[in-house]
Amino acid sequence: MVKEVQATINAMPPGSAAGLDGVRPMHLQQLTSKKIVEAGRHLILALTVLYNCAAVGKIPDYFTTTHDGHHEHIIVKLDIANAFNSGSRKAVLEEVIRRFPTAMPLVSQTYSQPILFQLDRDCFWSQWGIQQGDPMGSLLMALAMILLSRP
């Protein structure tokens, strides 16, 4: 698992924005590089242990306990790769009908049928996900996230 964690860190675009903790992928890459040797290995091992604990729902107390001994919640930030392009338009349209029926005529114009895009001589169909730049995109993406969170 250590190799997988290192590979994941190395695959992150170095110029990506920092997470809630302020640490950028570039920082992790530098801290775990082969140049740092021993300290880098310890950090990768610690990150792997934390990942394995989180994966089974057993976060160590020192991550959730405050100085006065009270347990607090932790925040987990997930970076969903290409989330806008991954969702089912049909499911989102059904959720729009259920929650915002008056918006359906507008949303339907863009998402009820695949759209043909042309770039020079190349053509491709847009038939999945929410179009980035769509003024309704944030709302539709929020609806998609609600769908994903259902048991």
Cα dist from 23 to 4, 18, 19, 52, 76, whole Å: 20, 5, 6, 20, 14
Convert the pLDDT of each residue in 34-46 to its tens digit: 777 777 778 878 8
Q: Domain ranges in the chain?
A: 2-64, 83-149
Using pLDDT thresholds of 50, 70 and 90, give the confidence band for residue 97.
very high
CA distances from 12 to 29, 42, 67, 84, 108 (A): 8, 20, 33, 19, 36
**Percentage of the residues of the chain whose pLDDT score is greater than 90:** 3
- Structural tokens at position 106: 């507008």
Contacts 24+ apart (CB under 8 A), 2-6: 2/44, 2/45, 2/48, 5/44, 5/47, 5/48, 5/51, 6/32, 6/44
Q: Say yes or no to pLDDT of 76 above 70.
A: no
Residue 8 pLDDT = 80
Q: What do you get for the CA distance between the two ends of the chain, in Å?
A: 28
- Please compute the mean of the pLDDT values over residues 57-68 and round it to a whole number: 67
Residue 75's pLDDT band, with cuts at 50, 70 and 90, is: low
Q: How much is the average pLDDT of 87-98? A: 87
- What does the pLDDT read at residue 151? 60
Residue 28 to residue 104: CA distance in whole angstroms: 44
Give the distance, in angstroms, between the CA of residue 6 and the centroid of all CA atoms in the same chain: 19
